[in-house]
Structure 1
Amino acid sequence: MTVRVDTLPRHRLIVLAAVMVGFGMILSWQLVRWQVIERDRFIDIVQNRPTGGEQVPGRRGRVFDRRGNPLAVDTIKYQITATPHWIKHPATIAARLAPLLDLSPEELTAKLSGDAPWVLLRRQVSRDVGETIKQWDIYGLHLTPWPKRGYPEGTLAAHLLGFVAEEQLGFYGVEGYYTQLLAPPDLSKAGENELLASLPFDLDEITKQGAPDLVLTVDRIIQHIAEEELDAAIGQHQASGGTVIIMDPRSGAILALASRPVYDPEHYSQAASAELWADPAVTGVYEPGSIFKIVTVAAALDAGAIDREQIFEDEGLIEVGGRRLYNWDRQAHGRVTITEAMALSLNTVMAQISTDLGAHHFYAYLQRFGFGRQTGIDLAAESEGQLRLPADAAWHESDLGTNAFGQGLTVTPLQMACAVAAVANRGTMMTPHVLKEITSGDQTWPRRPTVARQVISPQTAEELTEILIKAAEEGAPKSVVPGYTVAGKSGTAQIPIPGGYDPQRTIASFVGFAPARDPQFLILVKVDWPRDTQWGAAVAAPVFRNIAQRLFVMMNIPPDGQ
C-alpha cells in the first residue's frame, strides 16, 4: 500500500520562515541604524526637545468681580512648532503658513530647512488659525494648545488687574501681587512671596487642588460708572488723565479703581509706553493740595489745639520759616471760624494751625494717617509717597507751613482716600483691599476686613464731618446731590517744577463720602491738567456728584430722613 505525503504545509512553513527572517533582517538593520549610524542625531533630537520653560502650563487661577463676573480668565491659543528633518517641501509649506503666522516666507523657509531638531514658529496663534493649520495635517508641524490670559471686559479695570506675560508671570495689580497664588501648580515658583505670606490663609491647603480662583471686592458695574464719568470729565476739560477711587470706608474694600490713560492688558506689549502699566492710583505720587487740609484740621481738633468755634484772624499772608505763604486768591478774609476757613480753603489759617500745633505733633498725626508709607493694599508696585520729617536733612521749617495745605509732600491717591475714609469711619482706618475671597473647588476662604489703627477719636471724626458738610455745600456746591448730605473737600494742586510751580497746569481733585452721617461709600476724584479751568470745585466736584447720584440708585440708598 502506497502512502501519499502532502507537501503543501511544508512549503507554507518555508515561506513563513523566509518572511520572518526578512523581518528580522529589517529590524536588525533599523536597530543598527538607530543605535549606531544615526545614534548621535536621535540623541540630539531628544536632548534638544523643549523642556522646563516650554512645558505647557496648566490653568492659571481666574479672577472674578464681587458678583461673579469674570475679569481675567485663560483662553486657548496654539503654539506652532516644527521638526525640520520631517518637513518635505519647506518652501511650499512656508508659503502657506506665512500669511497665517504673520511671518515672511523667507524666514519660515529658513526655519523649516535648518538643522535644528525643533523650532518654534509662533508661540501663540488664535484658535481659528490653529484649527486651520491642524486640518492641513502636515507631517512635521506640531500644534500644542497653549493658555493665553484673556480679559473679557477689555480695558475695564486694567490697572487694577495688571497683566500676565508669556512666561505666565503676572505684573502689576492683582495679577502681579497674587501671581504665585494664581500660577498653575506645574510651574516652578521661585522664592517665597512675603506679601502672600502675610495673608491669614493656609496657602498650602488652598493650592493643593490646583490654582485657586480670586473673587474681588470690585463691582463691575461700579467700575464701569467710575470709568465712564472719568472719561467724560477728561474729554470735557481736555485733561491729560485722571483717577477715581471708590471704596467702602467701613471695611476698606475697594469697589472701583479707575485711571487714565489706560492700556489693554491682553495686548500689554502694544501700549504706547510701559509707563502706562503702572497704576497711578497706587504708584503715582503728587502734591495733593487743599484736600490735605482735612488731615491738618483732623490733627488739630484731635490734639485739642483748636475747636470748631475758635476764631482765626486771616490777614492773607503768614510767614513760616522765613517763607511767605499766601491764600489761593491773595486776599485777606478777616475773622473766620475753622468751618469758614475750610469752606474758603484758606492756606494761611492752615499754616497757622500747623505751627500752633507744633512740628512734633503735626508730623506724628501725618504718620498716623499713613503718609510716608504704604497702605498695605493687595496690589503690586505700591508707592510710599514722600514725607520729610524734622529729623531729615532735607526738611525745612517752612515745610511745617506748606505741608498744612498739601504742598511740599507727595502722596498717592489711595493714601489720600484712606486718610479721609478714616474720618468717615469714626476715626478708624481700615486696611484697603481688593480681595473678597479665595475659592478652590467647593471651598471658600473669605478675607476679613482688617483694622489698621485708630487715627483720631470718634468725637473728632464727627466734628470734622460737620465741617466737611459745610465745606462741600459752600466751597464746592457742585458736589452736592439733592436729598443727600455730602461731606467733602475740593482741592487745586499746583505741580512742582524746577525753581517753583508750573504757572499753567494744575491737578483738580475732590474727595468726599456719603451719606455724610452714615457713609456707604467714599469717592476720590483726581483730574490731571485740565485745560479749560483749573479749579477742583469746578472740575472734580461734578464728577463726584455724578458718580454719587448713580451709586445712590444702584445701592438702594434712600435720601436723608427716609
Structure 2
Amino acid sequence: MKDGFKARTRIIYLIIFLTGIIMTTRLFFLQVVNSEQYKNEANKQHFSPAAKNFDRGSIFFTEKSGRVISAAVVKNAYQIYMNPKVLEDSEDAYAKLSKIVSVNKTDFMAKAAKKNDPYEVIMHKVDKDKALAVDALNIKGLEIYPESWRYYPAGKLASHVLGFVGYKGDSLVGRYGLELAYEKKLKRDLDKKPVNSFAEIFYGIKKIVAGGLENADITLTLEPTVQSMLEKKLEEILEKYKGKMSGGIIMEPSTGKIVAMSAKPDFDPNFYSEEENIGVFTNPLVESVFEMGSIAKPLTMAAAIDGGGVRPDTMYTDNGFVKYGSAIIKNYDGKARGKVDMQEVLSSSLNTGAVFAMQSIGKEKFSEYIRNYGMGNRTGIELPNEVSGKISNIIDNNRELEYATASFGQGIAVTPMEMTVALASLANGGKIVKPYLVDKITIDGFRDKKTQPEVIRQVISKEASEDISRMLVKVVDGALLGGKYKMENYTVAAKTGTAQYMEAGSKNYSEEEYLHTFFGYVPAFEAKFIVFLFVAKPQGVLYASHTLTEPFMDITKFLLNYYEVPPDR
C-alpha cells in the first residue's frame, strides 16, 4: 500500500515538473526568440483599427412556410487606412490607389499631410476583391483591415421592433428594440478573448465555471410578407389623412403570437444616425398610452354579459345623454334612440348604452374586469421600455363620472399592445394571453429555447365571448358603413373607435384632434387573427369608420387569402 502511494506521488511530481518545463520553454519563445515579431505585431495593432472588431448574433424573420430570412446580421468587408507617418510618396500612392477605388484626391492629400497621425481612414466597407488588390500594391503606409458592422437587409421593415446597434462610448451595443432587450444574448464579447497561452488556460477555466457566453441567435414570429403589407397600409393611412402617426398589430388571439406590428413614421436602422428626430426611435405600440374611445365598448359589454348584468337583447331607454351632477355625457351625435337593446348600443356606438352596461354590474365589479383585462399592467412582451396603462381614474377615485366615461374608453389610457391583448380575449374564449415576438433563441448554433404560448388568466367565460362575437359580427354585417363591407364567406367581428385628445395644458377635450382606432378578428368564432389599427390626429375626416375600415378589410382579406383560411359561412 505504501509502495502504491509513493508511485502515485512520483507521477504527480513528474507531471508538475514537465508542466514547468513546457511553460518555461513557451515563455522563452514568447519573450526572447519571437520577441521582435510580437513587438511588431503589437505596434501594428496599436495603429490599426483592431479595437473595432465586432461580432453579434443574428436576428431572423419567419416566413409562413417556416423558412427563416435575415432581419439583422453582421456584414464583413474591409477598410483602407493610411499611416501618414510612414507614407513616403503620397502622389504615387494616390495614383495607384485611385485605379482600384474611387478616392477624393483633396481628402487623400489632406490626410497624408498629417505626419504625426498614425491612423487615417481612407475608405470603409470595401469588398474583398478590391481590398486584396489594394493590399497587393504593397505601398508602405497604406493598409487594409477587416471590419464588421450591423446590417439590416430589409431596411425599415420592423424597425421599431428590431431597434438598432449603435455606439455607447467606444462599444457597439443594442440601442432600442430587441437589439437592446437581448443585448446580453446577442453580444459576442471579443474584447475578453485571451491574449496569450497562459491567459487562455485561465480564460477557458473561467468560461467553464461561469457557463460562458450564450452566443445566441434570435428567430422572431414576425412574418415578413405580412409585416411588409401592414407597413404599406400604415404608410398609406398616414399619407392620405396627414396624421401624426399610425400603427398596427396583427396577432394570433389564441396564442399571443405577433405576426406583424409596426408604427409610422419609422426609420432605417442602417442609417439611424441620419435621423434628426430621435423621438422616431420610440415604439408607440408599447411605450405610449392613448385614450382608445369606443373600441372599449365591447370590453364593457362583455364584462356586463359575463357578470350577469345584461344580455344581448336587454333593453334600456336611450335619452341621448346621461347627467352626473353638472357633467353631461352625450352620444356622439347627441341624438336619442328611445328604447333599444344592447346590440344597438354596439351597432350605433352609444355612449349612454355603455354607461348602462357598466352600471348593470356596478362600478367595483366593472373596475375588477378592467384590471383583469390587463389594463394598467405591462403585457410582458419582450420589447424594452414597455409602459403600463393609466387607469387610476377607476382605481383611486370613487366618482361615478369616472367609471361612466371609462365604459366608453375615455379617461383611461392604455398602450396599443395592452388594448390588443384585452380585445383578443373576446376572440379566444375569454382568455388573456401573453404576447410574444420571439419564436426561439438558438444558443451556440444548436440548442433551441422555444417560446411556449402562455395563458395569464380567464377574464370572461367562453359563452360571454361567443355572445360578444355574435354582436360584433352584426356590427360589421349591418351597421358598419351600412353593411358595405360584409364578407359573403367569412364572419368578421369588428368595432371602430373615435377618441378626443385632451387640449394641451387643459382638462378639456379637443373638438379638432382625434385618435381613430379599429379592431377586428376573423373568422369570428374560430379567430386566426386579431388586427388592431390606429391613426393619430388625422385631418379632414371625423370618424374612424371612414379612415380605417377599408385598410382593415384589405388586411383581413390578405390574411385570409395568404394563409388559405377556409370560409366559415
1:143 is matched with 144
Cα distance in 2 for residues equivalent to 1:121 and 1:424: 58
Within the candidate set 321, 325, 333, 1:329 is matched to 333
* 2:542 equivalent to 1:557: no
2:495 is matched with 489
Contact 2:188–2:213 (CA under 8 A) maintained in structure 1: no
Letter in 2 for 1:524: F
TM-score (norm: length of structure 1): 0.81
Contact 1:480–1:545 (CA under 8 A) maintained in structure 2: no
Letter in 2 for 1:145: P
Q: Cα distance, 1:397 vs. partner?
A: 4.4
Partner SS, residue 247 of structure 2: strand
2:223 is matched with 219
Cα distance in 2 for residues equivalent to 1:505 and 1:536: 12
* 2:421 equivalent to 1:434: no
Cα distance in 2 for residues equivalent to 1:412 and 1:427: 20
Letter in 2 for 1:87: L
Cα distance in 1 for residues equivalent to 2:519 and 2:144: 53
Cα distance in 1 for residues equivalent to 2:209 and 2:325: 58
Cα distance in 2 for residues equivalent to 1:134 and 1:205: 42
CA distance 1:492–1:391, change in 2 (3 Å) = closer
1:405 is matched with 408
Partner SS, residue 281 of structure 1: helix
Q: Which has the larger radius of gyration?
A: 1
Q: Cα distance, 1:233 vs. partner?
A: 2.9
Letter in 1 for 2:285: A
Q: Spell out, residue by residue over 1:442-498, the C-alpha distance to the aligned partner (whole angstroms, 9 max, x if none).
A: 433321111122111212111111121122223324553331101111111212213
Contact 1:158–1:262 (CA under 8 A) maintained in structure 2: yes
Cα distance in 2 for residues equivalent to 1:519 and 1:442: 34
1:228 is matched with 232
Within the candidate set 60, 65, 73, 2:57 is matched to 60
Partner SS, residue 155 of structure 1: coil
Task: Give aligned pairs, total.
Answer: 506
Within the candidate set 404, 413, 417, 1:414 is matched to 417
Contact 1:321–1:396 (CA under 8 A) maintained in structure 2: no
Cα distance in 2 for residues equivalent to 1:103 and 1:205: 55
Q: Cα distance, 1:119 vs. partner?
A: 3.3
1:528 is matched with 536
Partner SS, residue 531 of structure 1: coil
Residue segments in structure 2 that go unaligned for 5+ positions in a row: 1-31, 194-206
TM-score (norm: length of structure 2): 0.80
Cα distance in 2 for residues equivalent to 1:257 and 1:178: 18
Within the candidate set 425, 440, 449, 1:445 is matched to 449
Q: Spell out, residue by residue over 1:13-60, the C-alpha distance to the aligned partner (whole angstroms, 9 max, x if none).
A: xxxxxxxxxxxxxxxxxx9xx99xxxxx99996996679x92513343
Contact 1:78–1:125 (CA under 8 A) maintained in structure 2: yes
Letter in 2 for 1:113: K
* 2:366 equivalent to 1:362: yes
1:119 is matched with 119
CA distance 1:82–1:294, change in 2 (3 Å) = same
Q: How do 1:265-284 and structure 2 match up within 5 A? A: 265-284=269-288
Partner SS, residue 165 of structure 1: strand
Within the candidate set 285, 289, 298, 1:285 is matched to 289
Partner SS, residue 405 of structure 1: coil
Within the candidate set 505, 508, 516, 2:513 is matched to 505
Q: Identify which range, 348-357 or 400-409, moves more after superposition.
A: 348-357
Partner SS, residue 453 of structure 1: strand
2:319 is matched with 315
* 2:71 equivalent to 1:71: yes
Q: Spell out, residue by residue over 1:288-318, the C-alpha distance to the aligned partner (whole angstroms, 9 max, x if none).
A: 1110112211222222222222111111111
CA distance 1:229–1:144, change in 2 (3 Å) = same
Q: Identify which range, 90-99 or 57-66, moves more after superposition.
A: 90-99
Q: How do 1:447-462 and structure 2 match up within 5 A? A: 447-462=451-466
Equivalent pairs: percent with the same residue? Answer: 28
Q: Spell out, residue by residue over 1:324-363, the C-alpha distance to the aligned partner (whole angstroms, 9 max, x if none).
A: 1111101111111111101110112212333443332222
Q: How do 1:150-169 and structure 2 match up within 5 A? A: 150-166=151-167, 167-169=171-173
* 2:431 equivalent to 1:423: no
2:308 is matched with 304
Q: Cα distance, 1:555 vs. partner?
A: 0.7
